[in-house]
Structure 1
Amino acid sequence: MFLKKDSVLKNSFIIQFGDKLLDQCCCLTNKFRIFTLAVLFLDLFLGYLAQHLCVIYGFDLQQVPDVIIYSTEHTVLNLKQILHWLMSNPAGLKLNSVLSKALGNFFLYHIHLWVTYVDLILPAVGQVFTIISPYIQFFPITLQLAILGDVLSMLCIHIFCFYAYARRITQLQYSGCVAYARLFAGKKYNPLRKRIDTADDVSIEHLFLGTILFTILLFLAPTTFTFFTVFWLLRLSSLFALKTISTAIFLIQFEWI
């Protein structure tokens, strides 16, 4: 799996590719399997073929920064349209206008931060592709796909951040609703013993305040859940693209060995 939670480096396609390639080299040293060599040569041939097709169709690696700029502008435009749509009662849903505008402005500000982040990393990415462009035809297709996956991961980082924010807000609201629902039943969560105990010291003031807070969280839940659903779908599409690249690398280089 390309999504691990140990460190940032372990999420890199290139790091994973290098580790598996070293394992294969050790396996070749010990057993020297001809079929493994055939797969590696096929990997190199597909990489050369891919670059040859890029040359035929007039695509140069030095154009990658321009492609990133175009895709960034297109993605930012679509995200802003989605956020403005969410801020104005999407699909006829009567969402809380104050909360939806607050969340929309919050995510719009982070889109601005993401554009600044892309502007900062773009010169470094362009310089890297300028350096490797004369030698990319000698790279195996799996390494080329790994580079593509890492670039796509850098460009999709904002979508994962938006999903994390929306999920956290939704989880907090859900936890609050569950806690106040337990309060009405005379129960409370004991974090020390990690169990549900009986609440004997509940007063009328506690119940009154809990009712107000429960009602507020319950009526705000559809708004946050709508934002969470939209960003969950965006994250799912990004994961699908990254998983497709990861599966292609696995099938080409490692499945038959």
Structure 2
Amino acid sequence: MLYQITQWRYHQPDEHVALSSIAYNRHYNSIWVILNDLIIGLAFRQFLCQNRGVLNAIVADGLESTLAVRIQRMLLWLDSWPAGLKLNTELSRFYSHGFIGLITRWTKLLHHGLSLLPAISFVVETASLLGMTMTLSLSLDLISVLTAHLHACHFISSTIYRHVLLLIGSLWNLFRGKRYNILRNRTDPWDYDVDQMLLGTILFTLAAHLFPTILVYYTLFALVRLGIIVLYASCETLLAFMNHFPLFALMLRSKDHQRLPGDTYLQVNHTALGCTVTVESHPLPYAVVFAQYAGLWRRLARHYHPIRLGKRLLQGQVLDTFPRASTGPPLDY
């Protein structure tokens, strides 16, 4: 955005009208967006300063209960055969104790970090002086740090789930008398020995008995990760909205649409002496004004589409957030 502002210094007066209009709108829209960002950031800083004690108390009480205690209770509930669901006892205890131990280690780090809460609050308040977008970006980084243990649990559970799925798929091909051909990327018929069939039967029996327990714990952390992704998507959408909203173009479009021309046409007026021809201009349509913003929204919607997320969940892939570098479309109105 600062690049777009500084580029106006190198504007040549004899440039093409369309290029000059784009540079003019881009320059002043960037200034308007930055000023509004700073104003909202100052207002938000004032809110943080007036409610510093209350907000710190809420954060200190809510972090451990939300990110640790509730997850630990859920793991203990799953380990006690909930609703008559008979999981594998040994594997369930291994999952439960392992994840509870990881969360306990993170809780100890959180207790040390809470002593730095006044300093973190001061940093957030200071970042608000640079604009609301700086506060949102810092909040996203804090969410990444605070939910690192949940991301690790999701990564471990999804890795195990994905490998078990691959194992079951390979054993399914074995029972059908087929084998996956890596070179040709297809499944070809294959004759297996009795020993191979016996080993496949043993492995399939183990995988079938362990898979429900693996699926239950994977579902828990997949849902937790999905909730974090929804929070990320909301913050990133708001961040993109504040960074790229065409505020100046909308002001020109509503106040003096002739300063935001879209196209020109010839207006023929018949008079008693003949006719006169005048050049008129169409204002830029709202669809064009929001075209770049709509493109950014489509990229966000494509990345966080429920079908895409659902496929990744079923395949055991780790749910990723939207790349921060992809939230910067050029403003070409």
- TM above 0.5, yes or no, is yes
1:48-197 alignment, distance < 5 Å? 48-56=42-50, 58-59=51-52, 69-74=60-65, 75-118=67-110, 127=119, 129-130=121-122, 133=125, 135-197=126-188
SS of the counterpart of 1:188? Answer: strand
Cα distance in 2, alignment partners of residues 230 and 164 from structure 1: 12
Note the residue ranges of structure 1 that are not aligned, 5 or more in a row: 1-20
Shift in alpha-carbon separation, 1:128–1:55, aligned structure 2, 3 A: closer
RMSD of the alignment, in Å?
2.6
> 1:197: Cα distance to partner?
3.0
Say if 2:40 is the partner of 1:46: yes
Q: In the alignment, residue 175 of structure 1 is paired with which amino acid?
A: L
Partner of 1:35: 29
Q: Is the 8 A contact 1:188 1:197 kept in 2?
A: yes
Q: Higher helix share goes to which structure?
A: 1
Q: One-letter code of the match for 1:46?
A: I
Counterpart AA for 2:220? V
Q: Give distance in 2, aligned partners of 1:28 and 1:116.
A: 52
* Alignment partner, residue 231 of structure 2: 241
How has the CA–CA distance of structure 1 residues 101 and 25 changed in structure 2, closer, same or farther, with 3 Å as cutoff? farther
Cα distance in 1 for partners of 2:231, 2:124 equals: 24
- Percent identity between matched residues is 25
Question: What SS does the corresponding residue of 1:47 show, helix, strand or coil?
Answer: helix
With normalisation by structure 1, the TM-score equals 0.79
Deviation, structure 1 residue 223 = 0.9
- Greater Rg, structure 1 or structure 2? 2
Q: Deviations over 1:97-116 (max 9, x none)?
A: 11111111111121123224
Partner AA of 2:73 in structure 1: Q
Hey, what does 1:16 align to over in structure 2?
none
* C-alpha distance in 1 between matches for 2:245 and 2:84: 48
User: Matched residues in 2 for 1:236 and 1:132: separation?
Assistant: 26
Q: If each structure's strand is expressed as a fraction of its own residues, which one has the higher value?
A: 2
CA distance in 2, matches of 1:22, 1:120: 38
Distance 1:206-1:234 versus aligned 2 partners, 3 A rule: same
The match for 1:227 among 205, 211, 217 is: 217
Give the direction of change, closer, same or farther, for the CA distance of 1:191–1:116 in structure 2 (3 Å limit). farther
Asked whether the 8 Å contact 2:128–2:135 carries over to 1, the reply is no
- Separation (CA, whole Å) in 1 of partners of 2:111 and 2:8: 43
Give the superposition deviation at 1:253: 1.8
| Cα 1:157–1:26 shift into 2, 3 Å | farther
SS in 2 for 1:95: coil
Secondary structure at 1:94 match in 2 = coil
Could you tell me which runs of 5 or more consecutive residues in structure 2 were left unpaired when the two chains were aligned.
11-22, 247-330
User: 1:147-170: CA deviations, max 9, x gaps?
Assistant: 111111110111111111111111
Distance 1:28 1:123, change over 3 A: farther
Distance (whole Å) between structure 2 residues aligned to residue 90 and residue 69 of structure 1 = 31
1:206–1:137 CA distance, 2 compared to 1 (3 A): closer
